[in-house]
Amino acid sequence: MIDRGRLERHIAELSAIGGKGAAVTRLGLSREEQRARTLVGGWLAARGARVRRDPAANLFARFGSEGPAVLLGSHLDSVPEGGRFDGALGVLSAIEAVESLLDLQAPLRRPIEVVAWADEEGARFGVGLFGSAAAFGRLAPGVAERTDRDGVSIADALRSLGEVGDPALARREPKEFAAYLELHIEQGPRLADAGRALGVVSDIVGIYHARVTLRGRADHAGATIMSARADTLAGAAEMVLAVERIARAHPDGVGTVGEIAVRPGAKNVVPGECVFSIDLRAARAHEDLVRWVLAEVERIAHTRGLQSSVDELARVEVTPLDRGIALLLRRAVKDVGVDAELLVSGAGHDAQNAQLSGVPTGMIFVRSSGGSHTPREFASLDDAALGARALAIALRELAA
Ligand SMILES: [Zn+2]
């Protein structure tokens, strides 16, 4: 049985870490994320799990003995001023699912591991799905040397949390896992619009993240005639509009420039350097979207006499999740009274790294009335408990 009171208490206790009103700021690889791991690890240890942190700061809590485990969980970090449910609800539902299975006192056919992936959001270092990428050997080379705005590297951040500073050491073999299940709030309005509490994910979009650096020339804004300028911000503006235009023309692509910085950054200086982010996603023909945007960035830079360099931060392919697990999850969701639709996830998830590594993976979405990555994100206790019950049913089929 799912204990609604406990679930509610856990949501409240967890969101107090980094919480301010309804907003939660618990960045990846921060002290707040570490405190959240300690709290959650304590709950799991109290139920008899063997709890450990790996060199990428992922938290694993194992029940049962030898053999491939059923893995379930999500992440504990948030974006700056995010909400209480994105990631957190997946970890807390996993705990509820395990608790309800342990309460049955049925022997485990397979071991179970609850996981809290570190730094899923990539808000601080720009590397999303960090912990799961490390665990499944899918980190880009040299990633540990990436720095945040204060010049602190991922390796430094890991060391300050008591790790050795090499996230590649977190690697595990996909064959250690029989399946991976993740519950997450839906990050769009489809479930809410359809009046359904739960959905099952069929595919996750391909994601491309990059940082573009443009170099031109910083000049006096008064004394430099227009034809003699190499203005990086004007070039970036054209590129931002190109991202929008190309994504609009793509059959189901979306493209966003969400961050931009100009140097030296003074009103009377022509911007000599500009750095901006690119986020490109699509469930189909994702590679085309990326290729078209990069070609346009290069063309615009060339036309304007700017130097451009593109630093790829993450590239995750379109990920069809496991069909067998999706069927199992649909049955489980139906058992709790919801005739679930299959949904494509427009947001990236740690589940992608598991599935792309060959671990049969499935996801349940829970309706969120306020979207996500905002303090408005909200899953009702009814919906959350329903999701946890469906997850528990799926877990029982796979592990007990
Ligand atoms: Zn999330």
Calculate how far, in angstroms, residue 246's C-alpha sits from the geometric centre of ligand 1. Answer: 27
The answer to whether the beta carbons of residues 40 and 51 sit under 8 Å apart is no
User: Quick one: 163 exposed, middle or buried, by C-beta within 10 A (0-12, 13-18, 19+)?
Assistant: buried
Domain 4-205+320-399, what architecture? Answer: 3-Layer(aba) Sandwich (3.40)
> Which of 16, 314, 307, 295 is CA-nearest to residue 139?
314
Residue found by looking up tokens 């945007």 in the block: 293
Read off the tokens for 108: 């485990």
CA distance 299 to 191: 41
Calculate how far, in angstroms, residue 115's C-alpha sits from the geometric centre of ligand 1. Answer: 14
Residue 147 DSSP code: B
- The DSSP bridge pattern shows strands 273-282 and 206-215 to be antiparallel
Calculate how far, in angstroms, residue 121's C-alpha sits from the geometric centre of ligand 1. Answer: 7
Read off the tokens for 354: 């598991």
pTM: 0.87
Calculate how far, in angstroms, residue 348's C-alpha sits from the geometric centre of ligand 1. Answer: 8
User: Quick one: 240 exposed, middle or buried, by C-beta within 10 A (0-12, 13-18, 19+)?
Assistant: middle
Calculate how far, in angstroms, residue 373's C-alpha sits from the geometric centre of ligand 1. Answer: 8
The domains of the chain are located at: 4-205+320-399, 207-316
Read off the tokens for 323: 């069909």
Q: Work out the widest C-alpha separation in the chain, in whole angstroms.
A: 80
Calculate how far, in angstroms, residue 295's C-alpha sits from the geometric centre of ligand 1. Answer: 31
Calculate how far, in angstroms, residue 130's C-alpha sits from the geometric centre of ligand 1. Answer: 12
Calculate how far, in angstroms, residue 399's C-alpha sits from the geometric centre of ligand 1. Answer: 25
Calculate how far, in angstroms, residue 83's C-alpha sits from the geometric centre of ligand 1. Answer: 10
- The DSSP bridge pattern shows strands 112-117 and 69-75 to be parallel
Calculate how far, in angstroms, residue 34's C-alpha sits from the geometric centre of ligand 1. Answer: 17
Calculate how far, in angstroms, residue 79's C-alpha sits from the geometric centre of ligand 1. Answer: 9
Calculate how far, in angstroms, residue 193's C-alpha sits from the geometric centre of ligand 1. Answer: 20
Read off the tokens for 26: 């618990």
> Which of 238, 187, 161, 172 is CA-nearest to residue 343?
187
The answer to whether the beta carbons of residues 201 and 326 sit under 8 Å apart is yes
The answer to whether the beta carbons of residues 364 and 391 sit under 8 Å apart is yes
Calculate how far, in angstroms, residue 206's C-alpha sits from the geometric centre of ligand 1. Answer: 16
The answer to whether the beta carbons of residues 102 and 44 sit under 8 Å apart is no
Calculate how far, in angstroms, residue 371's C-alpha sits from the geometric centre of ligand 1. Answer: 11
CA distance 353 to 3: 31
Calculate how far, in angstroms, residue 219's C-alpha sits from the geometric centre of ligand 1. Answer: 43
Alpha helices in 84-153 (DSSP H): 88-104, 130-135
Residue 99, CB-side half-sphere exposure with 13 Å CA sphere: 19
Calculate how far, in angstroms, residue 87's C-alpha sits from the geometric centre of ligand 1. Answer: 4
Calculate how far, in angstroms, residue 81's C-alpha sits from the geometric centre of ligand 1. Answer: 14
Read off the tokens for 18: 């980094």
The answer to whether the beta carbons of residues 363 and 345 sit under 8 Å apart is yes
Looking at residue 89, what is its pLDDT?
Answer: 98
- Identify the helix (H) or strand (E) that includes residue 59: strand 59-63
| Amino acid (1-letter code) at residue 99 | E
Calculate how far, in angstroms, residue 229's C-alpha sits from the geometric centre of ligand 1. Answer: 43
Calculate how far, in angstroms, residue 345's C-alpha sits from the geometric centre of ligand 1. Answer: 11
Q: Would you call 76 helix, strand, or coil by DSSP?
A: coil
CATH of domain 207-316: 3.30.70.360
Looking at residue 221, what is its pLDDT?
Answer: 95
Read off the tokens for 309: 């360099």
Calculate how far, in angstroms, residue 349's C-alpha sits from the geometric centre of ligand 1. Answer: 6
Calculate how far, in angstroms, residue 299's C-alpha sits from the geometric centre of ligand 1. Answer: 35
Looking at residue 83, what is its pLDDT?
Answer: 96
| Other Cβ atoms within 10 Å of 39 Cβ, number | 15
Looking at residue 372, what is its pLDDT?
Answer: 86
- The DSSP bridge pattern shows strands 59-63 and 112-117 to be antiparallel
Calculate how far, in angstroms, residue 376's C-alpha sits from the geometric centre of ligand 1. Answer: 15
CA-based end-to-end distance of the chain: 15
Calculate how far, in angstroms, residue 152's C-alpha sits from the geometric centre of ligand 1. Answer: 24
Calculate how far, in angstroms, residue 75's C-alpha sits from the geometric centre of ligand 1. Answer: 7
The answer to whether the beta carbons of residues 349 and 205 sit under 8 Å apart is no
Calculate how far, in angstroms, residue 50's C-alpha sits from the geometric centre of ligand 1. Answer: 25
| Other Cβ atoms within 10 Å of 262 Cβ, number | 17
> What is the residue-level pLDDT of the chain in tens, covering all 400 positions?
899 999 999 999 999 999 998 899 999 999 999 999 999 999 999 999 999 999 999 999 999 989 999 999 999 999 999 999 999 999 999 999 999 999 988 889 999 999 999 999 999 998 899 999 999 999 988 999 999 989 999 999 999 999 999 999 999 999 999 999 999 999 989 999 999 999 999 999 999 999 999 999 999 999 999 999 999 999 999 999 999 999 999 998 999 999 999 999 999 999 999 999 999 999 999 999 999 999 999 999 999 999 999 999 888 889 999 999 999 999 999 999 999 889 999 999 999 999 999 999 999 999 998 878 999 999 999 999 999 999 999 999 999 9
CA distance 325 to 391: 12
Distances (CA, A) of 25 to 18, 184, 260: 5, 18, 21
Name the phi and psi angles at 388, rounded to 5.
Answer: -65, -35
Calculate how far, in angstroms, residue 114's C-alpha sits from the geometric centre of ligand 1. Answer: 16
Looking at residue 315, what is its pLDDT?
Answer: 86
